[in-house]
Structure 1
Amino acid sequence: MKDLIIDCFAGGGGASVGIEMALGRHIDIAINHDPQAIRMHKTNHPDTLHLTEDIFKVDLQKYVKGRHVALMWASPDCTSHSKAKGGQPREKGLRILPWAVYKHAKAILPDVILMENVEEIQQWGPLDSSGHPIKERKGEDYNRFITAMKSLGYEFDCRELVAADYGAPTTRKRWYAILRRDGKPIIWPVQTHSKNGENGFNSWVPASSVIDWSDFGKSIFDRKKPLAEATQKRIANGIKKYIIDNKNPFIVPEKQAAAFLIQYHGETKEGDSRGQNLDEPLKTIDTSNRYGLVTAFITKFYKTGIGQGCEEPLHTITTSPGHFGLVSAFLVKYYGQGVGQKINSPLGTITTKDRFGLVNVVFEVNGEQYIIHDIFLRMLKAEPELKLAQGFPMDYIIDKDYERKTYPVKEQVARIGNSVVPIMAKALVSANCPYLRIGERMPNMKIDYSGSQLRFA
């Protein structure tokens, strides 16, 4: 009789593909109430039985049919537990989702249950009449849930783990729980990476490893629609923090460019920049694209000039990074929404007041002085950048489904942000269920849309 594996909150398939990576076999049953999530899951896991049903209403006994369940993964929605909700009211219906895990565990008694959630799940407690957690009772419901699971015969342990410590290019931190009732020991995966490679570990995988360096986006200076003021401030603050004031800015090899990431979240204080260097793993990815890649093209600075006098026309600037004419400065407009301009363009309208400032940024890298001659910006791409940063394999399909329908980018990002980091699922399952392994995961084939019938080729 085949041992079954079930993913109770399957989403786009983060945990499912992680289990495949660990065991070399597909998930037997995947459950999610969202048809869009099931579409992506079914595209990548065609041999799985997909149930588009409410997790509380689905009757798993009907589908299990008395067979032995070896492993069940459960990642209940975390949004009404997460600190990202701030002071907003919580949704009671989402906060009780862990009880669906208890319901199904009681009905089908899996040998092993693996759970994932935000670390704030441990503070799960009752809400007041306005939907806010009652501070004096935090953790009350969490402890009730754990006690209920133990009453079914499960041993329990939990830890907060950072995905970057296990080789994922993201510092996403989550609560993980291991429950088992088969008498075997609970085993936590061995850490393989650390921030700077301390204690014999490998160094964290940097965000730069997942960036498509063939695409720098567009210059911030010559856009038809000027960037929003808040974005301009983020870029300016980021350049100061991650390039000018940084002793070791991230330099894109052979591109004469210094790069960093800005985050489209509210800054905590005026003049600050939320973002990061690219030699670090990406911070947590949420359900909307919050990361912008900023690239400052730089040129060595010479006191005698940079190859031409200011009285001459500027050399031609091409669209190919690394082949720019030598531009030493740009102009900032002190009115309206102007983000500035490069000095090889005609001057904007001259008013009766002095409205233009010449910006000539000089900074030092490894003892040599540089100046910035252009600044590019683009958002990170769902495919492949955010997908790879979350730890999905390159072959995972997020842009089209099995019916030739294209997923909107918003849906792609939402599926990624809601997903379990596959590398973490792989690590936990490998440590606790090695006896279920049957081989290596088979990569997804590319989808061929050229013929009249969709096929994997």
Structure 2
Amino acid sequence: MLGFIDLFCGGGFGARGAVFGGGKPLLAVDAWDLATETYKANFPEATVIQKKIEEIDPFQYRSKFRPDVLLTSPECTAHSIARGAKPGNEKSRETAISIFPWIDAFNPRWVIVENVNRMKQWERHEELITTLERYGYTVSQLLLNASEFGTPQSRKRLFLICDRDGATITKETLLASHQKTQKNAKSIIDWSGQYKSTPLYKPGRAQSTVERAERAIASLGKNIPFLIVYYGSDYAGGWQTLDAPLRTVTTIDRFGLVTWDKGEPMLRMLQPPELLKAMGAGSSHQLPAGNRRDKVKLCGNGVCSPVMEVIFGEINRIMQSEHSLAIAV
């Protein structure tokens, strides 16, 4: 198994995929107490620390852990268009640079850096790549959409997959080696009726919500369920069909499900268990604590499990192939 250290671990969605792909979490770090509590609940065998990584001396753990992979998901809010017009926070961006003391301490063969696509526009992005190369890593920069890897969510992210032994990984290789069936938003919906809807046209409903729904109804017709999408930035009309992957889960509530009752449209928000399905973590993953807003944030901050499963699976394949070759020689 590939032992890994998980920096900016969040609720462990990326780790869940890594485990599915043949990984084993050794040490995890995050500054948010709910994230570390969630990680502990899902991976009780791992050592979990609630601190900022720059406040930790990684060398104190050097004798205890021997990771094959350093898995990192630095803060992305300063890079993301989801932050709106707010100015970027350079300190937040530079958490990516904070991974290098951990590389110094553990000398892992593989380093994985996950972030939003706009990280490539950061003025220190090339410095990050160049420094990784100076450490001896061959860096594969991949822009991956989680929906292409069996996740019922369209989520585009940048992955830097770095190997100290010179292996390169391409998107085409990942897709060819690990086939995944595409899933749609309908697959995450709980249709049991346990989550109650209210009439779309109830008094006090925001007019912008009604307008989003009416645009969808005008396009689809009546009696067809769909999703209202709030806080959109892609000019898609504020709604989507259920036969496409869910649009990107963010740290705030943004999806309202419209269904029909005797010809009348009804509305409810998607719930954390449904968003958890959209992250692809599987039924075994838990969100044990926190309120609804916290759980939505945990999902929005996460890494889609199926993508990390494919990446770890490919790393495992490479290393097993090398091992077999060495035995043959």
What TM-score results when the alignment is normalised by the length of structure 1?
0.65
Instruction: Give a deviation string over 1:319-343, Cα, whole Å, max 9, x none.
Output: xxxxx5xxxxxxxxxxxxxxxxxxx
Residue 209 of structure 1 is aligned with which of 174, 187, 200? 187
Name the residue aligned to 2:323. none
Aligned residue pairs total 317
Asked if 1:414 is matched to 2:297, the reply is yes
Asked if 1:428 is matched to 2:318, the reply is no
Distance 1:228 1:87, change over 3 A: closer
Name the residue aligned to 2:4. 5
Corresponding residue SS for 1:159: strand
Unaligned segments of structure 1, at least 5 residues: 126-140, 194-200, 245-256, 298-323, 325-372, 401-405, 438-457
Instruction: Give a deviation string over 1:228-287, Cα, whole Å, max 9, x none.
Output: 22222222222112336xxxxxxxxxxxx4100011226877xx7311100000010001
Asked if 1:264 is matched to 2:221, the reply is no
Asked if 1:191 is matched to 2:171, the reply is no
Residue 276 of structure 2 is aligned with which of 387, 398, 409? 387
Distance 1:64 1:4 in 2: 14
What TM-score results when the alignment is normalised by the length of structure 2?
0.89
Amino acid at match of 1:260: F
Residue 132 of structure 2 is aligned with which of 149, 156, 160? 149
Amino acid at match of 2:63: K
Name the residue aligned to 1:353. none
Distance 2:8 2:43 in 1: 14
Asked if 1:72 is matched to 2:55, the reply is no
Distance 1:83 1:386, change over 3 A: same
Residue 162 of structure 1 is aligned with which of 134, 141, 145? 145
- The within-5 A match list for 1:305-454 is 324=262, 373-383=263-273, 385-398=274-287, 400=288, 406-434=289-317
Residue 93 of structure 2 is aligned with which of 76, 88, 95? 95
Distance 1:89 1:74 in 2: 24
Asked if 1:115 is matched to 2:113, the reply is yes
Kept after mapping to 2: 8 A contact 1:219/1:374: no
Cα RMSD for the two superposed structures: 2.4
Corresponding residue SS for 1:235: helix
Instruction: Give a deviation string over 1:114-154, Cα, whole Å, max 9, x none.
Output: 111111111101xxxxxxxxxxxxxxx11111111111111
Shift of 1:180: 1.1
Instruction: Give a deviation string over 1:150-202, Cα, whole Å, max 9, x none.
Output: 11111111110111111110110001111111344546553269xxxxxxx87
Name the residue aligned to 2:55. 57
Name the residue aligned to 1:20. 19
Distance 2:225 2:312 in 1: 37
Kept after mapping to 1: 8 A contact 2:200/2:210: no
Shift of 1:113: 0.6
Distance 1:72 1:54 in 2: 16
Residue 256 of structure 2 is aligned with which of 254, 268, 292? 292
Greater Rg over alpha carbons, structure: 1
* Identity rate, percent: 27
Amino acid at match of 2:141: C
Distance 1:426 1:266, change over 3 A: closer
Distance 1:90 1:240, change over 3 A: same
Corresponding residue SS for 2:218: helix
Whose helix fraction is larger, Structure 1's or Structure 2's?
2
Kept after mapping to 2: 8 A contact 1:187/1:431: no
Stretch moving more, 211-220 or 5-14: 211-220
Distance 2:21 2:126 in 1: 30
Corresponding residue SS for 1:191: helix
Corresponding residue SS for 2:21: helix
Kept after mapping to 1: 8 A contact 2:114/2:157: yes
Kept after mapping to 2: 8 A contact 1:3/1:68: no
Kept after mapping to 2: 8 A contact 1:264/1:290: yes
Kept after mapping to 1: 8 A contact 2:26/2:65: no
Distance 1:268 1:58, change over 3 A: closer
Kept after mapping to 1: 8 A contact 2:201/2:210: no
Stretch moving more, 33-42 or 210-219: 210-219
